[in-house]
Chain A
Amino acid sequence: MKNTTKAVLFRYLIALMVVLFMTFVLRNNLKNSQVNVFNTALIFFFCVAGQYVMLGLGGMLGMCSITFLGLGAFLCAYLNTRCAIPVIPSIILGTVASGLLALFLGLLLLKLDGPYFVFGTIGVVYIGTSIFQNFTAFTGGPNGISGIGKLSLLGYTFSTFKSWVPLLGTLVMLLLFLLYRIKNTSFGRGLMAVRDDETAAFSLGINVYRTKVIAFAVAGLLAGFGGGLYAVHNGTISASLFTFSTQTKFIIMLMLGGVMSPIGAFCGTILVNFLPEIARFADSYLNLLYGCMIIVLMIFMPMGLAGVQKELATRIRTASQKRIAAKKGA
């Protein structure tokens, strides 16, 4: 018992160190625009985390996280600028609305299985994009919404991108803990059972439909929260972000990092978002490079970076075990 508390404390310590490290390194070494990219990556991780719950744990390829992100962002922006509601309540309201929409769509779409579900969610993405771009009264149409208020917490106002880093870092670390925690709850285990075999899960007394709907709603909640953060962080949003191509990018982030591991997904998110910065030399060939990279990665390591790491770890372990066995034999 004491051992576990120690391990938990150790993990918290590591997370704290990572956040502090990020804060100081970024503050001193990166330009403002690069910090912006980093923060955006951290915010997108909320969406990717939702995808992880759906695809990695639940095995359902939901394509409409971007719509929940958009709803969270636009509702937060709308409430803040037009209804003069403070920032934090409007983020919460946006999150709740996204969660409710996700719950409703989940109840509707999860009666379908396999490809039908995927097509349904794709349809939702296109409807969302169309509404975000054309419903001027709510989203400001092509101009978007600007002039969203700054977040202030405990008397401290987050005015620059750099001041956001510790906050977002802490939130992401909390999210990572939450994801690992979800994996070990009865809900998470039920979800994984559903992923592996629905019939077997059903025979073991898991309510398949309800488990899936909850997973979908959780993904919607996370994405909505990310959307609210995105709106407040940037201070301005436009509808051009919330399209199907961004959604495919989320899926790629998840698959690149490793669909089964939250840390891997986190690394994938950072990597994909920083690619334009790293590969600046590629210039107009950047997207070509990106496409080729995806293909090569999927062919040679379909489980992503985390899969590679796992494989290497097992290989090293077996090698060392062999060595020990050989020593004992000798």
Chain B
Amino acid sequence: MALFFQQTLTGLSVGLVYATVAMGLMLLLRAAGVMNFAQGNLLAMGAYVGYALIEKLNLSSMALAILLSVLLFVFVGCIFCGVCVLPFKRAKWPQAMLICTLGAGTVINELCLLLVTTETKALRPIIPGALTVGGFVIQYQYFFIFGAMILMMGGLYFLFEKTYCGCILSAASQNKYAADLLGIPTNLTIVITFCIVVCMTGVSGWLLAPIYYVSPSLSTFQARAFASIVIGGFGNLQGAVVGGVIVGLVEAYSSYFTTTYKDVVVFGCLLLMLVIRPTGILKSEQRKEKA
């Protein structure tokens, strides 16, 4: 029973990370029409930034570190957008943008390795140690991940549903042409969306670093995020959250009967879902075909 609780809690928190990454993917897909294959590398970059700021620069105050990292993430977001999206506004071949994100992912990964460290390092947790109740052991870091993800999702919900800025962002992503006519600067909204997404992904990566280590292999989270998008329902944000949590839980529970074939279980679920119900658990918004 203790094991069950432990699996559930770890599954939930990791699932929420999948959900955050998936939400980022979805936001980019809606706002800029780009399927971002560098999302995993951005997640790993978050971990590297955290490591560089805390272990290398020895920043004493956490607030300063967070501020610096957010500035850096915004900077990266702007550059990423400028390189991977804006030059392709009139491209005839949509796959070019996708390949460009692949290239950008390689660049981000290599820059992290060259500038920070090439070894796999462990980052200090925010509060070291683990909570032990009976046979039930769970690291404190999971609670931080859980809390931060909930906070970020809440913030995103508040931004998109309650504020003027969020209304502009969703208007621009829903119909670019109409938004242009209304005087919304659509290029600026794309850049802002990119900055938000990079910040979210980067912070998630930082929080994951104490558990999964600082290494390029963090980028494998991206595939799980793709899976959670499809399982939850393509095109809506709630779907991404539901899908992410489901993927996390499935992965956690699959350790009851297998440790080596986790990937098979998770992606088998994806294929099964695609065959049985391609629209996902929450019905997906149909993207309009070209007129």
Contact residues in A for B120 (Cβ distance below 8 Å): none
Contact residues in B for A55 (Cβ distance below 8 Å): 95
The listed residue (A115, A292, A294) touching B35 by CB distance below 8 A is A115
Q: With the chains together, A259 CA to B94 CA distance in Å?
A: 12
Q: With the chains together, A133 CA to B262 CA distance in Å?
A: 12
**Closest Cβ of chain B: how far from A7's Cβ, in Å?**
30
Q: With the chains together, A243 CA to B226 CA distance in Å?
A: 16
- A298 within 8 Å of B (CB atoms): yes
- A244 within 8 Å of B (CB atoms): yes
Q: Are B87 and A119 in contact (CB under 8 A)?
A: no
Q: Are A292 and B103 in contact (CB under 8 A)?
A: yes
Q: Are B102 and A122 in contact (CB under 8 A)?
A: no
Q: Are A294 and B106 in contact (CB under 8 A)?
A: yes
Interface residues of A in 123-139 (CB under 8 A from B): 123-124, 126-127, 129-131, 133-134
Interface residues of A in 276-294 (CB under 8 A from B): 284-285, 287-288, 290-294
**Closest Cβ of chain A: how far from B3's Cβ, in Å?**
23
Q: Are B100 and A123 in contact (CB under 8 A)?
A: no
- B83 within 8 Å of A (CB atoms): yes
Q: With the chains together, A285 CA to B287 CA distance in Å?
A: 41
Interface residues of B in 53-94 (CB under 8 A from A): 83-84, 87-88, 91-93
Q: Are A119 and B103 in contact (CB under 8 A)?
A: no
- B230 within 8 Å of A (CB atoms): yes
- B260 within 8 Å of A (CB atoms): yes
Q: Are A116 and B230 in contact (CB under 8 A)?
A: yes
Q: Which residue of the partner chain B has the closest CB to A256?
A: B99
Q: Mark B149-191, 1 if CB is under 8 A from A, else 0.
A: 0000000000000000000000000000000000000000000
Q: With the chains together, A126 CA to B104 CA distance in Å?
A: 22
- B268 within 8 Å of A (CB atoms): yes
Contact residues in B for A326 (Cβ distance below 8 Å): none
**Most B CB atoms within 10 A — which of A55, A288, A291, A294?**
A291
Interface residues of B in 105-121 (CB under 8 A from A): 105-107, 109-111, 114
Interface residues of B in 252-278 (CB under 8 A from A): 260-264, 266-268, 270-271, 274-275, 278
Q: With the chains together, A204 CA to B35 CA distance in Å?
A: 32
Q: Are B106 and A287 in contact (CB under 8 A)?
A: yes
- A255 within 8 Å of B (CB atoms): yes
Q: Are B107 and A291 in contact (CB under 8 A)?
A: yes
Q: Which residue of the partner chain B has the closest CB to A290?
A: B106
Q: Are B99 and A122 in contact (CB under 8 A)?
A: no
The listed residue (B91, B102, B264, B274) touching A130 by CB distance below 8 A is B264
- B227 within 8 Å of A (CB atoms): yes
Contact residues in A for B88 (Cβ distance below 8 Å): 299, 302
- A235 within 8 Å of B (CB atoms): no
| Interface size of A as a range | 35 or more
Contact residues in B for A287 (Cβ distance below 8 Å): 106, 109-110
- A241 within 8 Å of B (CB atoms): no
Q: Are B227 and A119 in contact (CB under 8 A)?
A: yes
- B192 within 8 Å of A (CB atoms): no
- A112 within 8 Å of B (CB atoms): yes
**Most B CB atoms within 10 A — which of A118, A244, A292, A302?**
A302
- A144 within 8 Å of B (CB atoms): no
Q: Are B95 and A127 in contact (CB under 8 A)?
A: no
Interface residues of A in 120-170 (CB under 8 A from B): 120, 122-124, 126-127, 129-131, 133-134
Q: With the chains together, A75 CA to B231 CA distance in Å?
A: 32
Q: Which residue of the partner chain B has the closest CB to A251?
A: B99
Q: Are B274 and A298 in contact (CB under 8 A)?
A: no
Q: Are B102 and A248 in contact (CB under 8 A)?
A: yes
Q: Are A288 and B263 in contact (CB under 8 A)?
A: no
Q: Are B260 and A130 in contact (CB under 8 A)?
A: yes
Q: Are B274 and A112 in contact (CB under 8 A)?
A: yes
Contact residues in A for B103 (Cβ distance below 8 Å): 252, 290-295, 298
- A173 within 8 Å of B (CB atoms): no
Q: Are B268 and A127 in contact (CB under 8 A)?
A: yes
Q: Are A288 and B114 in contact (CB under 8 A)?
A: yes
Q: With the chains together, A294 CA to B109 CA distance in Å?
A: 14
Q: With the chains together, A251 CA to B88 CA distance in Å?
A: 18
Q: With the chains together, A69 CA to B90 CA distance in Å?
A: 35
Shortest 10 CB-CB contacts between residues of A and residues of B: A294-B103, A291-B106, A291-B107, A130-B263, A302-B96, A123-B267, A288-B110, A134-B260, A295-B103, A123-B270
- Chosen A-B contacts, 30 in total, with CB atoms closer than 8 Å, are A61-B98, A109-B274, A115-B29, A115-B234, A118-B35, A119-B270, A120-B230, A120-B274, A122-B223, A122-B226, A123-B268, A123-B270, A123-B271, A123-B274, A127-B268, A127-B271, A130-B260, A130-B262, A134-B261, A251-B99, A255-B95, A284-B114, A287-B106, A288-B106, A288-B114, A290-B103, A291-B109, A294-B99, A294-B100, A302-B91
> Which residues from chain A sit less than 8 Å from chain B, CB to CB?
55, 61, 108-109, 111-112, 114-116, 118-120, 122-124, 126-127, 129-131, 133-134, 244, 248, 251-252, 255, 259, 284-285, 287-288, 290-295, 298-299, 302-303
Known: A259-B93, A295-B83. 14 other contacts (CB 8 A): A111-B275, A115-B29, A115-B234, A120-B230, A123-B226, A123-B268, A123-B274, A127-B268, A130-B261, A131-B264, A251-B99, A287-B109, A293-B103, A298-B99
